[in-house]
Amino acid sequence: MSRRLPPLTALRAFEAVARLGGTRRAGEDLNVSHTVVSRHLHNLEAWAGVRLVERDGRGIVLTAEGRRYYERIAKGFDLIAAATEELSPRGGSGEMRIVCVPGLAVRWLTRRLADLEAALPGVDIVLQPTDRSPDFAKGEADAEIGFNLKPQPGLTLVELAMPRFFPVASPVFVARRGPFAGPADVAAAPLIHEESREQWRQWLAAAGLDPVPPLHGPRLWHADAAIEAALQGQGIALANRLLVGDDLAAGRLVEVLKTDIRLGPYGLRGPAAAWEGRSMGRLRNWLASALADTVSGR
């Protein structure tokens, strides 16, 4: 018996509109103009003989029939995406390209590659440490691990960990320049910055320093470079347990001022269509568990 199916391009356009909340966002997700998306919506409604969307002052909203229809077909799209990922070489096996902020990539993830490979059997991991977010629409990556990531149309984002940030320095530096009784003492010491001085400014303000004085010191762009400079006794870097847990345990770095300040979360972001796929699910579960263990000191 043949199935009664709507035009699949029109169905895909409707799913994108319902998921993203508008024709422009749907057009960006599908790489077509919003007028093409609108035409597909009209064709689907004509085929079904039912109004699925309507416009109000804020844009397009689903009708009651549209909401019911979307709830049913969304499950089908998820199943298709998962099945396709398992079928394709980059799904069940082959490559998984992961973009990760350099500090976390170099100082945490690369030290746990064997564990990650065990969590993704049969998958060749391609890790790119970079601060530049990939263009998922062009296939530049399968997953992105970053700090303070923002939601984007067509992508799913989950928070993984929100670690405590604190100042660290080498024991030799602390013996030479300490003690550091409060945030004013820290601000007066040689500070090591990443791309800008804003993170240190935020941390000092959260630590109670008001006003925060003009800050100086070298800008080294990436956390791994800033921490390496701190290890060499060049000053105080701002870090968290994910970045310096091993160095604290080995006594190569010390926390120069005890505080409980959190500046934002690390998160995982990837294409919504592949979010429930096997490899993405395994990556997500492994990251959440491994990060939580490190943050808690286990």
Query: 288 and 154 share a domain?
Result: yes
Residue 3 lies in a domain: no
Residue 46 lies in a domain: yes
Total tally of structural domains belonging to the chain:
3
Q: What digits encode the pLDDT tens for the residues 50-109?
A: 999 988 766 788 999 999 999 988 888 877 776 766 665 444 457 899 999 999 999 999
Query: 245 and 169 share a domain?
Result: yes
Domain containing 140 — which CATH number? 3.40.190.10
* Boundary residue ending a domain (87, 117, 145): 87
- Looking at the DSSP assignment, which residues form a beta bridge with residue 266? 147, 161
Query: 211 and 283 share a domain?
Result: no
Beta strands in the chain (DSSP E): 53-56, 59-62, 94-100, 123-129, 143-147, 155-161, 165-169, 191-192, 236-240, 254-255, 266-271
Q: What is the pLDDT of residue 173?
A: 97
Q: Rounded CA gap, 33 and 24, in Å?
A: 7
Query: 75 and 223 share a domain?
Result: no
Residue 1 lies in a domain: no
Range of the domain at 143: 94-161+265-296
Q: What is the pLDDT of residue 98?
A: 96
Query: 109 and 237 share a domain?
Result: no
Burial of 52 (0-12, 13-18, 19+ CB in 10 A): buried
* Boundary residue ending a domain (71, 87, 103): 87
Query: 30 and 78 share a domain?
Result: yes
Query: 240 and 186 share a domain?
Result: yes
Domain containing 12 — which CATH number? 1.10.10.10
Is 221 within 8 Å of 129 (Cβ atoms)? no
Positions in the chain short of pLDDT 50: 89-92
Q: What digits encode the pLDDT tens for the residues 225-234?
A: 999 999 999 9
DSSP code per residue over 60-106: EEE-HHHHHHHHHHHHHHHHHHHHHHHHSTTTTSEEEEEEE-HHHII
Query: 56 and 193 share a domain?
Result: no
Query: 276 and 154 share a domain?
Result: yes
Query: 54 and 199 share a domain?
Result: no
Residue 260 lies in a domain: no
* Boundary residue ending a domain (46, 63, 87): 87
Q: What is the pLDDT of residue 74?
A: 85
Q: Which helix (H) or strand (E) holds 173?
A: helix 171-177
Q: What is the pLDDT of residue 85?
A: 61
Q: What is the pLDDT of residue 92?
A: 46
